[in-house]
Chain A
Amino acid sequence: MRNIFRGFGAVFYKETLHVRRDFGTLFFSLIIPLLQMLLLGYGIDTNIRQINTVVFNADGRRESRELLDRLKNSDTFHVVRYVNSDVEMNEMIIGGKARVGIKIPVDYSDKLLHQMSAQVLVLIDGSDSSVAGQAINVTTAIGLDESLRRALTNNASLAVDMRPKLLFNPDSRSPNFFLPGLTAILLLNVTTFLTAFSIVREKERGTLEQLFVTPVKPMGLLLGKLLPYLGIGFFELLLILTFMRFAFLVPIHGSVFLLALLSLPYIFVSLSLGILISSKANTQSEAMQLAFLTILPSIFFSGYIFPRETMPRVFYVISYFVPASYFINITRGVILRGAGIHHLWLDGLALFAIGAFLLIIAARRFHNKVIMA
Chain B
Amino acid sequence: MTTPTLPSEGGLPGTDPAISARGLVRTFGRFTAVKGVSFEVGKGEIFGFLGPNGSGKTTVIKMLTGLLPLSGGEATVEGLNVRTDAERVRERIGYMSQNFSLYPDLTVTENLTFYGRIYGLGAQRLKTRMQEVIELNGLGPYLNRLASQLSGGWKQRLALGCAMLHEPKLLFLDEPTAGIDPVARRQLWDLLFELSSRGITFFVTTHYMDEAERCSHVAYIYYGKLIADGTPNTLRELPDVQPPGTIRVEITTPEVTRALARARQIKGVRSATIFGQSIHALIDDHLELEDLRERLSRSGAAVGEIRPLAPSLEDVFVELTYKNQAANGNHQEGQSEPVEAKHA
Instruction: Scan residues 77-122 of chain B and give those whose CB is less than 8 A from a CB of chain A.
Output: 87, 90-91, 93, 95, 97, 99-106, 110, 113-115, 117-120
Question: B269 — which chain A residues lie within 8 A by C-beta?
Answer: none
Instruction: Scan residues 112-159 of chain B and give those whose CB is less than 8 A from a CB of chain A.
Output: 113-115, 117-120
Q: Which of A213-221, A296-304, A306-314 contacts B (4 or more CB under 8 A)?
A: A213-221
CA distance A208 to B312 in the complex (A): 37
Name the residue among B106, B118, B120 with the largest chain A CB count within 10 angstroms.
B118
Question: At the interface, yes or no: A95 with Cβ under 8 Å from chain B?
Answer: no
Name the residue among A7, A17, A18, A213 with the largest chain B CB count within 10 angstroms.
A213
Question: At the interface, yes or no: A337 with Cβ under 8 Å from chain B?
Answer: no
Given A210-B95, A371-B67, A17:B110 Cβ within 8 A: yes
By the criterion CB–CB under 8 Å, are A215 and B120 in contact? Answer: yes
Question: At the interface, yes or no: A116 with Cβ under 8 Å from chain B?
Answer: no
By the criterion CB–CB under 8 Å, are A213 and B65 in contact? Answer: yes
CA distance A212 to B105 in the complex (A): 20
Question: A340 — which chain B residues lie within 8 A by C-beta?
Answer: none
> Nearest B residue to A214 by beta-carbon distance?
B118
Given A9-B117, A21-B106, A372:B68 Cβ within 8 A: yes
Given A10-B118, A215-B118, A18:B97 Cβ within 8 A: no
Partner of A205, one of B68, B104, B117, B119: B104
Question: B120 — which chain A residues lie within 8 A by C-beta?
Answer: 1, 6, 215
CA distance A207 to B90 in the complex (A): 16
Least Cβ–Cβ distance between B56 and chain A, in angstroms: 15
Question: B118 — which chain A residues lie within 8 A by C-beta?
Answer: 7, 10-11, 211, 214-216
CA distance A313 to B116 in the complex (A): 56
Question: A207 — which chain B residues lie within 8 A by C-beta?
Answer: 101-103
Least Cβ–Cβ distance between A207 and chain B, in angstroms: 5
CA distance A206 to B102 in the complex (A): 8
Question: A14 — which chain B residues lie within 8 A by C-beta?
Answer: 103, 106, 110, 114
Question: A21 — which chain B residues lie within 8 A by C-beta?
Answer: 105-106
CA distance A22 to B101 in the complex (A): 19
> Nearest B residue to A213 by beta-carbon distance?
B95
Interface size on A, residues (CB 8 A): 25
Given A10-B118, A213-B90, A215-B91, A17:B106 Cβ within 8 A: yes
Interface size on B, residues (CB 8 A): 26
Least Cβ–Cβ distance between B193 and chain A, in angstroms: 24
Given A205-B104, A207-B102, A213:B67 Cβ within 8 A: yes
Given A18-B105, A207-B102, A13:B90 Cβ within 8 A: no
Least Cβ–Cβ distance between A5 and chain B, in angstroms: 12
CA distance A11 to B114 in the complex (A): 7
By the criterion CB–CB under 8 Å, are A210 and B90 in contact? Answer: no
Least Cβ–Cβ distance between B175 and chain A, in angstroms: 12
CA distance A9 to B122 in the complex (A): 12
CA distance A1 to B90 in the complex (A): 13
Partner of B101, one of A9, A11, A205, A371: A205
A1-38 contact mask (Cβ, 8 Å, vs B): 1 or 0: 10000110111011001100110000000000000000
Question: B87 — which chain A residues lie within 8 A by C-beta?
Answer: 215
Partner of A10, one of B90, B99, B114: B114
Question: A214 — which chain B residues lie within 8 A by C-beta?
Answer: 90, 95, 115, 118-119
By the criterion CB–CB under 8 Å, are A13 and B117 in contact? Answer: yes
> Nearest A residue to B65 by beta-carbon distance?
A213
CA distance A215 to B88 in the complex (A): 8
CA distance A292 to B215 in the complex (A): 51
Least Cβ–Cβ distance between B80 and chain A, in angstroms: 13
Question: B119 — which chain A residues lie within 8 A by C-beta?
Answer: 214-215
By the criterion CB–CB under 8 Å, are A205 and B103 in contact? Answer: yes
Question: A22 — which chain B residues lie within 8 A by C-beta?
Answer: 105
By the criterion CB–CB under 8 Å, are B103 and A206 in contact? Answer: no
By the criterion CB–CB under 8 Å, are A205 and B99 in contact? Answer: yes
Question: At the interface, yes or no: A209 with Cβ under 8 Å from chain B?
Answer: yes
Question: B117 — which chain A residues lie within 8 A by C-beta?
Answer: 9-10, 13
CA distance A21 to B65 in the complex (A): 32
Least Cβ–Cβ distance between B10 and chain A, in angstroms: 23
Instruction: Scan residues 189-217 of chain A and give those whose CB is less than 8 A from a CB of chain B.
Output: 205-207, 209-216
A357-373 contact mask (Cβ, 8 Å, vs B): 1 or 0: 00000000000000110
CA distance A17 to B103 in the complex (A): 10
Least Cβ–Cβ distance between B121 and chain A, in angstroms: 10
CA distance A258 to B67 in the complex (A): 43
By the criterion CB–CB under 8 Å, are A209 and B101 in contact? Answer: yes
Question: A10 — which chain B residues lie within 8 A by C-beta?
Answer: 114, 117-118
> Nearest B residue to A7 by beta-carbon distance?
B118
Least Cβ–Cβ distance between A6 and chain B, in angstroms: 7
Least Cβ–Cβ distance between A218 and chain B, in angstroms: 11
> Nearest A residue to B110 by beta-carbon distance?
A17
Question: B99 — which chain A residues lie within 8 A by C-beta?
Answer: 205-206
Given A214-B118, A215-B119, A209:B97 Cβ within 8 A: yes
Least Cβ–Cβ distance between B51 and chain A, in angstroms: 19
A329-342 contact mask (Cβ, 8 Å, vs B): 1 or 0: 00000000000000
CA distance A372 to B63 in the complex (A): 10
CA distance A7 to B105 in the complex (A): 20
By the criterion CB–CB under 8 Å, are A206 and B97 in contact? Answer: yes
CA distance A13 to B65 in the complex (A): 25
Least Cβ–Cβ distance between A368 and chain B, in angstroms: 11
CA distance A10 to B112 in the complex (A): 11
CA distance A18 to B103 in the complex (A): 9
Least Cβ–Cβ distance between A10 and chain B, in angstroms: 4
Least Cβ–Cβ distance between B164 and chain A, in angstroms: 13
Least Cβ–Cβ distance between A71 and chain B, in angstroms: 64
Q: What are 7 sample pairs from A and B whose C-beta atoms fall under 8 A apart?
A: A10-B118, A17-B106, A22-B105, A207-B101, A213-B90, A215-B90, A216-B118
7 interchain residue pairs of minimum CB distance: A10-B117, A210-B101, A213-B95, A206-B99, A21-B105, A10-B118, A14-B114
A205-B104, A207-B101, A215-B119 known, 8 other contacts, Cβ within 8 Å = A9-B117, A10-B117, A18-B105, A209-B97, A209-B101, A210-B95, A213-B67, A215-B91
